[in-house]
Amino acid sequence: MKICVIGLGYIGLPTSAMFASAGHEVVGVDKNQRIVDALNRGEVIITENGLAEFVAEVMKTGRLRATTSPESSDAFIISVPTPIKEDKTADMRFVESATRELAAVLKKGDLVILESTSPVGTVDSLMKPILEDISGLKAGEDFSLGHSPERVIPGHILDELVHNNRIAGGYDSRSAHRIAELYASFVKGEITETDARTAEMCKLSENTFRDINIAYANELAKICEKQGVNVWELIKLCNKHPRVNILQPGPGVGGHCIAVDPWFIVEKEPSLATMIRDARLTNDSMPSYTTERAMEILSGTDSPKVCVLGVTYKPDVDDMRESPVLELIERLRDKGCSVVAHDPFVAGRREDILADLSEAAKGADLLILGVNHSQYRQLDFAALAETVRNKNFFDTRNFADASAAAAAGFKYYLLGNRA
Ligand SMILES: NC(=O)c1ccc[n+]([C@@H]2O[C@H](COP(=O)([O-])OP(=O)(O)OC[C@H]3O[C@@H](n4cnc5c(N)ncnc54)[C@H](O)[C@@H]3O)[C@@H](O)[C@H]2O)c1
């Protein structure tokens, strides 16, 4: 089959390479000329485990190439961004423009699949009318259409693309079946056929489930601080129950999925999605809550200087999108702190994010662990003690070695515990 994948980012590029590796002819399309040129040279400009090697290997087969606009194909996959607007509604501009562009080359018998995470009704109400108007063809009769959401986790994308279970949501049952058949060319997980609206809602509900669970952990953290309980110990004990699995609290929820997708449900049913909205707001309150605790630790300190360890939205990745730690830094600055960050994954992307920890920590009155990057498990507290002004360490992830901190003379503070 000839497959056109529109959007060559974290999702579209690995997916293109998978289809090409499975024997299909793949044309990857991206508006960003830099991405297109790099791919045509066999290079990858995003960081993802094993991706550069895999793409280089696939390029040798001659079955993958890149260009800037869709061309006539048997199947189209849309994997463009679906960010959120200021008013917390989905920004569907990219899906809309990708749909328009592919509609111009759509022909009888083609298959169109939306992979981007989207509000319920995107396939039926946004894509179908555009595709039908521009092509003059009829969905279900002349071409197939549907949604197959992506569930991969950055860092493990290649493995999860193959092994995760997948949903094939069709505009009609034939579309669902064709989608399932196409992905079966490389997916080893179970592929379940359903309708497009259910598939759209399914992706949003999965991420919302996680967001609500984290909000519960964050709410417990606040309650535990008042009640003289260590929330981390509490959650560990609760999770010994065979049917309980509470996630971890922290300084907020980031990334462009869990912090965004619940709003796509709220947007459709604002008066019903009350718990979903509250959970979002609870998680969004954590940078401010964390700032308040930091300021309490710093009370009485003149011209306080803070060093934040880790600024990405989760550990061991180079992605800062929607990171709550960035908001924490801004809030600390608003309170009059001078703030420098350390992060081995994104050092240099901003002037205030340094690669050298002792330089970042120089003269600091407070070190805040914002992200549980693996390397922070074994911090050299003795060396840090030499460089800071005041030995205060605030762990928002229950991750650093508290006894090593204490042994080096640091006062160790933990989010979710004042006991
Ligand atoms: N990254 C993840 O871990 C992940 C996981 C599950 C779902 N998703 C969803 O997948 C979708 C894509 O996410 P991503 O992380 O790959 O985004 P990304 O930003 O990494 O890549 C998207 C690419 O699409 C390109 N693009 C935008 N409009 C275009 C157009 N009209 N024509 C051609 N190219 C266009 C951009 O230049 C960009 O390179 C989003 O809806 C996201 O929510 C992402």
Answer yes or no: do 158 and 257 share one domain: no
Give the pLDDT band (50/70/90) at residue 419: confident
Task: Please indicate, yes or no, if residue 208 is contained in any of the structural domains.
Answer: no
pLDDT of residue 46: 87
CA–centroid distance, residue 185 to ligand 1 (Å) = 22
Q: What's the whole-number mean pLDDT along residues 39-59?
A: 93
pLDDT of residue 81: 96
- Structure tokens, 91: 């920004």
Q: Which tens digits make up the pLDDT trace of 324-369?
A: 999 999 999 999 999 999 999 999 999 999 999 999 999 999 999 9
Answer yes or no: do 254 and 403 share one domain: yes
pLDDT of residue 323: 96
Q: How many domains does the chain have?
A: 2
Question: Considering the chain, what percentage of its residues have pLDDT values greater than 90?
Answer: 96
Answer yes or no: do 53 and 162 share one domain: yes
Answer yes or no: do 164 and 266 share one domain: no
Active-site residue, 203 included: yes
Pocket lining: 80 vs ligand 1, CB cutoff 6 Å: yes
Tell me how far apart the alpha carbons of residues 65 and 62 are, in angstroms, rounded to a whole number.
Answer: 7
Answer yes or no: do 14 and 103 share one domain: yes
CATH of the domain at 82: 3.40.50.720
Round the average pLDDT of the chain to a whole number and report it: 97
Answer yes or no: do 243 and 185 share one domain: no
Task: Please indicate, yes or no, if residue 79 is contained in any of the structural domains.
Answer: yes
Which H or E run includes 368? Answer: strand 366-369
Answer yes or no: do 18 and 127 share one domain: yes
Answer yes or no: do 83 and 140 share one domain: yes
Catalytic-labelled residue, pool 4, 128, 224, 257? 257
Q: Which of 195, 216, 245 is the last residue of a domain?
A: 195
Task: Please indicate, yes or no, if residue 215 is contained in any of the structural domains.
Answer: no
Q: What's the whole-number mean pLDDT along residues 17-30?
A: 98
Task: Please indicate, yes or no, if residue 315 is contained in any of the structural domains.
Answer: yes
- Give the single-character DSSP code of 376: G
Q: What's the whole-number mean pLDDT along residues 372-385?
A: 97
With a cut of 80, say whether residue 313 has pLDDT above it.
Answer: yes
Task: Please indicate, yes or no, if residue 272 is contained in any of the structural domains.
Answer: yes
pTM here is 0.95
Task: Please indicate, yes or no, if residue 139 is contained in any of the structural domains.
Answer: yes
Task: Please indicate, yes or no, if residue 262 is contained in any of the structural domains.
Answer: yes
pLDDT of residue 215: 98
pLDDT of residue 318: 87
- Report yes or no: 70 and 6 within 8 Å, Cβ to Cβ: yes
3-class secondary structure, 300 = coil
Find the domain containing 173 and state its range.
Answer: 2-195
Active-site residue, 236 included: no
Task: Please indicate, yes or no, if residue 216 is contained in any of the structural domains.
Answer: no
By mean pLDDT, which of 40-49, 72-81, 302-311 is the weakest?
40-49
Task: State the Rg of the chain over Cα.
Answer: 24
Q: Which tens digits make up the pLDDT trace of 181-210?
A: 999 999 999 999 999 999 999 999 999 999
Closest ligand 1 atom to residue 117 Cα is 41
For residue 416, how far is the Cα from the chain centroid? 24
The backbone torsions φ and ψ at residue 407, rounded to the nearest 5 degrees and listed phi first, read -60, -30
